[in-house]
Amino acid sequence: MIRIARLARLVLSAGAAAVLAVGLTSSAEAATGRIRYISAAGQEFQIDNPPDNVCLNLRVRARILVNETNKTVSYFFNANCANFTGNLDPGRAVSYQNPLSVRVIG
Residue 83 in any domain: the answer is yes
Residue 75 in any domain: the answer is yes
- Residue 31 CB coordination number (10 Å): 23
| pLDDT score of 19 | 41
| pLDDT score of 65 | 98
| pLDDT score of 1 | 56
- Residue 101 CB coordination number (10 Å): 21
Q: What are phi and psi of 44, to 5 degrees?
A: -110, 135
6-35: average pLDDT? 60
Residue 12 in any domain: the answer is no
If one counts the domains in the chain, the total is 1
Worst-scoring range by mean pLDDT, 19-23, 78-82, 83-87? 19-23
Tell me: pLDDT of 85 over 90.
Answer: yes
- Residue 103 CB coordination number (10 Å): 19
**β 84-88/101-104 pair status:** unpaired
**Listed residue (81, 84, 104) closest to 33, CA to CA:** 104
| pLDDT score of 56 | 98
Residue 25 in any domain: the answer is no
Worst-scoring range by mean pLDDT, 1-5, 22-26, 34-38, 41-45? 22-26
Q: Say if pTM beats, i.e. exceeds, 0.85.
A: no
Q: Which domain holds residue 80?
A: 33-104
Q: List the CATH number of the domain containing 68.
A: 2.60.20
20-24, 25-29, 51-55 — most confident range? 51-55
| pLDDT score of 11 | 54
68-73: average pLDDT? 98
